[in-house]
Structure 1
Amino acid sequence: MTLALALLLFVTAERLGELWLARRNTERLIAQGGLEVAPEHYPLIVALHAAWLGGLWWLGWDRPVNLGWLAVFVCFLALRVWVLMTLGRRWTTRIIVMPGETLVRGGPYRFLSHPNYAVVIGEIAVLPLALGLPWFALVFSILNALVLSIRIRAENAALGRH
Structure 2
Amino acid sequence: MKERGGLERGEEHYKYFVFLHLLFFLSILTEVFLLKGIVIPFQPAFFIVFLLAQIARIWCIQSLGKFWNTKVIVLPDFPLVKRGPYRYIKHPNYIIVGIELFVIPLLFGAIITSVIFPFLHIVLIKYIRLPVEERALEEVMTNNRKEDSD
Category of TM-score, reference length = shorter chain: 0.7 to 0.9
Aligned pairs, number: 134
Report the structure number with the largest CA radius of gyration. Answer: 2
What is residue 50 of structure 1 aligned with on the other side? 22
What is residue 43 of structure 2 aligned with on the other side? 66
What is residue 40 of structure 1 aligned with on the other side? 12
* Cα distance in 2 for residues equivalent to 1:133 and 1:57: 8
One of 92, 99, 106 as aligned partner of 2:76:
99
* Cα distance in 2 for residues equivalent to 1:70 and 1:49: 20
Larger deviation: 87-96 or 57-66?
57-66
* Cα distance in 2 for residues equivalent to 1:57 and 1:81: 27
**Does the CA-based 8 Å contact 1:128-1:136 persist in structure 2?**
yes
**Does the CA-based 8 Å contact 1:68-1:130 persist in structure 2?**
no
Larger deviation: 106-115 or 135-144?
135-144
1:60 deviation in Å? 4.2
What is residue 147 of structure 2 aligned with on the other side? none
* Cα distance in 1 for residues equivalent to 2:48 and 2:31: 21
* Cα distance in 1 for residues equivalent to 2:32 and 2:59: 28
What is residue 96 of structure 2 aligned with on the other side? 119
**Does the CA-based 8 Å contact 1:35-1:97 persist in structure 2?**
yes
Q: Which runs of 5+ in 2 are unaligned?
A: 141-150
One of 53, 64, 82 as aligned partner of 1:87:
64
Please tell me whether residue 144 in structure 1 is matched to residue 121 in structure 2. Answer: yes
Cα root mean square deviation, aligned: 1.7
Q: Which residue identity is paired with 1:98?
A: L
* Cα distance in 2 for residues equivalent to 1:65 and 1:59: 17
What is residue 31 of structure 1 aligned with on the other side? 3
* Cα distance in 1 for residues equivalent to 2:43 and 2:31: 15
| CA offset digits 1:32-73 (Å, max 9, x no partner) | 111101111100011001111232244448954322111111
**Percent identity (aligned):** 34
1:82 partner SS: helix
Q: Which runs of 5+ in 1 are unaligned?
A: 1-28
**Does the CA-based 8 Å contact 1:65-1:132 persist in structure 2?**
no
1:137 deviation in Å? 0.8
1:101 partner SS: coil
